[in-house]
Structure 1
Amino acid sequence: MLKILGKASSINVRKVLWTCAELGIEFEREDWGAGFQSTAQDSFRALNPNAMVPVIVDGDFVLWESNTICRYLCNKTNDGRLLPVEPQARARVEQWMDWQATELNNAWRYAFMALVRNSPAHRDPAQIEAGVAHWNRHIGILDHHLATIGRYAAGDHFSLADVVLGLSVHRWLSTPMERPLYSAITGYYERLSERPAFHIFCRNGEP
């Protein structure tokens, strides 16, 4: 059985858990992450040199990087439900997945660490203000895209892009800060909320 290593509170672990739920993949999850004893950290680093979650163990196969793991799971089922087989349709999904992992994630990092994690290293008011503005601007990009293209990130059908973006939108809505009212984002969040796995692994009280 597939083994997922990482705390269920991690946004990147939740990507993998939600993907498994959508695909009907059975799994076992083990808590790994910051705060473990050094010996356990050494064992984990042997699986992932970055010592970051999630990591999956599928038989003898070990894989890390959350978006890559989600792609692998979709490819393993080979049915095109979340990740299309046709090259252009697939590229559209992966485009938004990569945007989430690079542009959007970097946009929220400082503000989220300050406003939700209460990190002592993220206390600069000017950087918090800039971070909030940067985050809101990137969500605005997604809002404009959704208003233009349709119901989901890659068109009319739910895809793997919506798993990773849905978690990011939930985090944006859950962070105590001023934010614009983006009507397309509101509708998108409501549509995602119709999916049972969204409530289990995303809209579950964790930002």
Structure 2
Amino acid sequence: MTCRIWGRISSINVRKVVFTAQLLDLTFERVDAGAAFGIVRTPQYQQRNPNSLVPLLEDGDFTLWESNVIVRYLCARHPERGLYPPELQARFDAERWMDWQQTTLNPAGREAFIQLIRTPAEQRNAQALAASVAATQPLLAMLDARLASRRFMAGDTLTMADIPIACEMHRWWGLPLEHAQHPNLRRWYDSIRSLPAASGALDVPLS
């Protein structure tokens, strides 16, 4: 069965879901929606997602919104791919990092993205940009320390934990900034970006 992913690929949250679907080797259709594409405020879309946001997943008659939840669902639906840890503590270790991406890492770096990519140069707020960079740097150092002793976020194999953070790093390292080295983080990211499934998700120009 072909699933449908609603959302423009310029959205980091849509990229998470597309990357997951490609890692799982799923057949899917992606429909541009949100921002300039509209659709999300139509009654038909709001019936599926009352938040009027992307992404939205349609899997047969089942619909689901919230990007990291969609990632979890798809990985759990296809356990044979090994992205959804079967052991309870390993699974919740992965869950922790997925939640951390949404509650901590993304809010820290979002303003830098807004200022450098979506705000005309003459309208940028230098103070807001500096604050975002300052908030993000210790979080990247934390990730680098985490990855000093393991290949991936939740251990020695790729899991759902790596997907949202890889998408976040794609966005952060795509910003025109002077970036710290963080060799463990870079090694991890390069290994993920080299996967065939990363094409179309971790090589998309920021916009």
TM-score (ref. length: structure 2):
0.91
Q: Distance in 1 between matches of 2:82 and 2:9?
A: 24
After superposition, the Cα gap between the structure-2 partners of 1:200 and 1:37, relative to the gap in structure 1 and judged at 3 Å, is closer
Offset from partner CA, 1:97-151 (integer Å, 9 cap, x none) = 111111001001111100111169x73221211111112221111111111x311
Where do residues 16-31 of structure 1 align in structure 2 (5 Å cutoff)? Answer: 16-31=17-32
Aligned residues: 205
Aligned twin of 2:167? 167
Do 1:132 and 1:177's aligned partners in 2 also have CA atoms closer than 8 Å? no
Q: Distance in 1 between matches of 2:87 and 2:38?
A: 46
Where in structure 1 do 4 or more consecutive aligned residues deviate above 6 Å?
none
Q: Distance in 2 between matches of 1:186 and 1:39?
A: 36
After superposition, the Cα gap between the structure-2 partners of 1:61 and 1:191, relative to the gap in structure 1 and judged at 3 Å, is same
Do 1:151 and 1:188's aligned partners in 2 also have CA atoms closer than 8 Å? yes
Do 1:136 and 1:179's aligned partners in 2 also have CA atoms closer than 8 Å? no
How far the C-alpha of 1:41 sits from its partner, in A, is 3.2
Q: Which amino acid aligns with 1:6?
A: G
TM-score (ref. length: structure 1):
0.91
Aligned twin of 2:45? 44
Relative contact order, higher structure (CA 8 A, sep 6+) = 2
2:121 equivalent to 1:103 = no
Partner SS, residue 3 of structure 1: strand
Q: Which amino acid aligns with 2:52?
A: A
Question: Structure 2, unaligned stretches of length 5 or more?
Answer: none
After superposition, the Cα gap between the structure-2 partners of 1:24 and 1:37, relative to the gap in structure 1 and judged at 3 Å, is closer
After superposition, the Cα gap between the structure-2 partners of 1:13 and 1:38, relative to the gap in structure 1 and judged at 3 Å, is closer
Aligned twin of 2:80? 79
After superposition, the Cα gap between the structure-2 partners of 1:38 and 1:174, relative to the gap in structure 1 and judged at 3 Å, is closer
Q: Which amino acid aligns with 1:180?
A: A
Do 2:33 and 2:40's aligned partners in 1 also have CA atoms closer than 8 Å? no
Aligned twin of 1:187? 187
Q: Which amino acid aligns with 1:140?
A: A
Partner SS, residue 62 of structure 1: strand
Q: Which amino acid aligns with 1:123?
A: R
Q: Distance in 2 between matches of 1:37 and 1:87?
A: 40
Q: Distance in 2 between matches of 1:132 and 1:179?
A: 10
Aligned twin of 2:138? 137
After superposition, the Cα gap between the structure-2 partners of 1:50 and 1:144, relative to the gap in structure 1 and judged at 3 Å, is same
How large is the RMSD of aligned CA atoms in angstroms? 2.0
Where do residues 110-121 of structure 1 align in structure 2 (5 Å cutoff)? Answer: 110-118=111-119
